[in-house]
Each structure stands twice: as structure tokens, then as C-alpha cells.
Amino acid sequence: MKQFVFWILIGCFAAPSQAQITLESCRQKAQANYPLVRQYELIEKTKEFSVSNAAKGYLPQFSLSAKATYQSDATTINLKIGDFALNRVAPKDQYQAMVELNQQIWDGGNIHSQKELAKANSDVDREKLNVDMYALIERVNDLYFGILMLDEQLTQNTLLLDDLERTHKQISAYVANGVANSADLDEVKVEQLNALQKRTELKSSREAYVKMLSVFTGEEIAETALFAKPVESVAPLTDPAYFRRPELSWFEAQNGRLDVNEQMLQARNMPRLGLFVQGAYGNPGLNMLKDKFETYYIAGVKLSWNFGGLYTLKNDKKQIQVNRAQLDSNRDVFLFNTRLQATQQNSAINSVRALLDKDDEIIALRTNIRKAAEAKVSNGTLAVTDLLREINSENKARQVKALHEVQLLMNIYQLKYTTNN
């Protein structure tokens, strides 16, 4: 037992020489290591490809076609004026191979809208990815503060073992002087074994938490690594006007995409103006009455206007309005739930601070009670079991304060996560 406590004390003195791990570094490493982070580059590449493809709508469009037909009748000319007679019959079997070039001049803003939609989709995907990446912070926080709580319990466990070791020496002296018996010494030994069991349990839990944090950060964290307590700061504001959650940017990006969809409705129902050139080789050529293979071309300006979209335009606009109303509702629900959560967390912070105000006083009283119990045992007026109960009570009071300190930090950082302010 003496050797065990000795090595614990050696570890405590050696600890400050190690570099401490911080919460912020764990967050940064976890986000850099998380597989989802690779999607940022994929989203950007997808946007570039989509915008580039939309812009190619301004390039000349080529098409090639060929056909061979046979028709039951054909154009015939039978003309006789005096001695002049003209008989022409178009061929019933016709052949044509054509190359056509179309150049868009004005498309009513359709290509521009397609480019804007590609950007809007990219913004939505990126903001959604930000939301998913932000959720990683909460998971890292839970692991980090879980380790801090276990560290505090291990520290208090060490102090308890020190007290029990000191008590064991005292009772051994009492047994030698006939003031106590070996059963009293066994009582102390049982408490020491219980404390050692508890220490094994705490170390096992801490090892599991450290391993999980190692997986998140992508770096092997030693079991003996020291974790720094984050600085206690003022609790952030719980007014929704000060929330900076990535979900709000995600809602804005979706709203921006709906704006682009409205622009596309407008562009879809606008006329198109373009140039075209057709070059062909066939029989007949432009002269339908000439049964001979010839090359020919046609060039001109083409105006087209499809009115089919006007039939559904009104409903399409109403659908966008419904989608926008649903989006606003989802945003309001998110803000309501976030504000409710922030209010609860703020109350928890105030509650823990109130508890901490009394912890030092309770510890001081418990220490006085334990010292008085030791004096009574030395006088033979108090049983060793009663002394052990007071030692455990004092240790529990210290544990409660240590846990309250970590809980306060954890609640503050939970509120910071909730508001991101």
C-alpha cells in the first residue's frame, strides 16, 4: 500500500512536465480528421462543373442528322403552252444528310439562372455540411469533459487513499498501545481496498474515453496525457438575435435557392432568339423537282417562344411560396427549441454556481468533524468505523466540489455550443 501511494505521488509531481491537451486543439483535430471534411472539396468541384456546363449553353451547338424516305406520291408538274411542254416529277425516294449549327443570341436569362442555381445548390450543400461538422463539437465536448470529471475523481481518490494510509498508521499505533484491536485495522484495510477498486474502475473509464477521443482526433493520446481545464468565461447571451448557429446560414442558403427558382420560372417563359445554319447533301436538293444529289445550305434567324410553361406558372409560384413558408416555419421552430435549450442551460449554470458557493464551507466543516473524530478515536471514545465514515464524508464533499467545478465549465461550454455566440 505504501508503495502504491508513493507512485501516485511521483506521478502527481511528474505531471506538470508533460504538455497539456486542450479542448480547442481536440476540436480542430477532430474536424480535420473527420471523413466528412473531404466533402467540402467535392462540393466545390461539383459547383465548378455545374457552372461550367451551364455556361457552355452560349457555345455554338452542332447537330448531325441523316434520313432516307420513300413516299407514296410526289410533286408533279404537267404544263403545256402552245408548242412548249413541261413535265417534272419529284423522286419518291428521297435522301438527306444535314449538319446544323445553332448559336444562342438571347435565351431570356435561362443560362444565367442555371448558373445561379448551381451556385445556390452548392451553398446549400456547403452550409448543410457545416451543420454536420458543427455537431462534431458537441461529441468532442462530451468526451473531453467526461475525461476531466474522471480526472477530478481520480485526484480525490488519491487524497482518500492518502487519508486512509495515514489512518492505517494511526490505528496500527493504537493497536500496539492496546487502544484499538486488529478488527479496527481490518476495517481500515477494507476501505483501502474499496478505494483501490474504485480507482481501477475510474482508470478503466478514463482509458475508454481517451481511446474514443483518439479516434476522433486521429492521433494516439497516451493514457497518462494531461487535459487542461478550459478557462471559465462569462455565459453567452441567450437572446436568439445573438445566435450564430450554422443552421441559420443553412436556412438562408435554402431561401436563396428559392429566389433562384423564382428567377428560373421567369426565364423559362421568355422567348429565345438565335442564329442557325444548315448545310446538307441530298436528293432532291432545294429544287424538289430535280432528281439529283446536290449540296445546299440554309441560314437565318430563329425566334421561338414556348407558351406551355404559362399553364403551370401560377401553381409553380404558389409552390415556391409554400416551400418558403415551410422553410420559415422550420427556422422558427429551430430558434424556439434552441432558445429553450439555452434558457435551461443558463439556469443550470446559475444553479451550479450557487452550489459552489457552499462547497468550501461544507468541506471546512467536514474537515473539522474528521479531525474531532480522530481525536476521539485516540481517546478511545469513538469507534474506528465512525472515523472511517467521517473520512469518507470529507472525501465526498471534496469530490462534490471538484465535480461542481467541472460541471460549471461543461454547462458554460454546452451553452456556447447551443448559441455559438
Q: How many CB atoms lie within 10 A of CB 206?
A: 20
Q: What is the dihedral of CA 42, 220, 138, 416, to 10 degrees?
A: -110
pLDDT of residue 291: 81
**C-alpha cell read off for 234:** 462569462
Cα distance between residue 184 and residue 188, in whole Å: 7
pLDDT of residue 202: 94
| Count of alpha carbons within 13 angstroms of residue 38, beta-carbon side | 3
Is 23 in contact with 109 (CB distance < 8 Å)?
A: no
CATH number of this structure's domain 18-59+107-270+305-419: 1.20.1600.10
Statement: residue 189 has pLDDT above 60: yes
pLDDT of residue 91: 83
When comparing pLDDT for 329 and 236, which is higher? 329
pLDDT of residue 18: 57
**Torsion sign over Cα 400, 405, 411, 414:** negative
pLDDT digits (tens, 9 = 90+) for 143-161: 999 999 999 999 999 989 9
248-276: average pLDDT: 92
pLDDT digits (tens, 9 = 90+) for 193-244: 999 999 999 999 999 999 999 999 999 999 889 999 988 777 677 777 788 9
Question: 5, 415, 88: which is closest to 243 by C-alpha?
Answer: 415
pLDDT of residue 161: 92
Cα distance between residue 162 and residue 213, in whole Å: 31
CA 304, 307, 312 angle in degrees (round to 5)?
Answer: 145
Cα distance between residue 202 and residue 160, in whole Å: 14
**C-alpha cell read off for 253:** 442558403
Cα distance between residue 170 and residue 180, in whole Å: 10
Statement: residue 8 has pLDDT above 80: no
**C-alpha cell read off for 189:** 484495510
In the block, cell 445556390 appears at 120
pLDDT of residue 81: 73
Percentage of the chain surpassing pLDDT 70?
Answer: 94
Cα distance between residue 350 and residue 411, in whole Å: 10
15: DSSP letter: G
Under the banding of pLDDT at 50, 70 and 90, the label for residue 14 is very low
**C-alpha cell read off for 361:** 464551507
pLDDT of residue 235: 67
pLDDT digits (tens, 9 = 90+) for 370-391: 999 988 888 878 888 888 888 8
Statement: residue 17 has pLDDT above 70: no
Cα distance between residue 88 and residue 90, in whole Å: 7
Residue 297 belongs to what H/E stretch? strand 294-304
Q: How many CB atoms lie within 10 A of CB 390?
A: 20
**C-alpha cell read off for 138:** 458537441
- DSSP 3-state of 263: helix
Question: What b/e readout covers 338-357, taking b as 16+ CB neighbours within 10 angstroms?
Answer: bbebbeebbebbeebeebee
pLDDT of residue 9: 40
Statement: residue 335 has pLDDT above 90: yes
pLDDT digits (tens, 9 = 90+) for 50-96: 888 888 888 888 999 999 998 888 877 777 776 666 667 778 888 99
pLDDT of residue 320: 93
Percentage of the chain surpassing pLDDT 90?
Answer: 53
pLDDT of residue 1: 43
With a CB cutoff of 8 Å and minimum separation 6, the contacts of 162 are 5
Question: What b/e readout covers 79-105, taking b as 16+ CB neighbours within 10 angstroms?
Answer: eeeeeeeeeeebbeebebebeeeeebe
Domain boundaries along the sequence of the chain: 18-59+107-270+305-419
pLDDT digits (tens, 9 = 90+) for 85-125: 666 777 888 899 999 999 988 888 888 899 999 999 999 99
DSSP letters of 193-222?
Answer: HHHHHHHHHHHHHHHHHHHHHHHHHTSPPP
Cα distance between residue 257 and residue 123, in whole Å: 9
Q: Look over the chain and give the mean of its residue pLDDT values, rounded to a whole number.
A: 87
Strand pairing report for 226-227 and 20-21:
parallel
Low-confidence winner among 163-177, 241-255, 291-305 (lowest mean pLDDT): 163-177
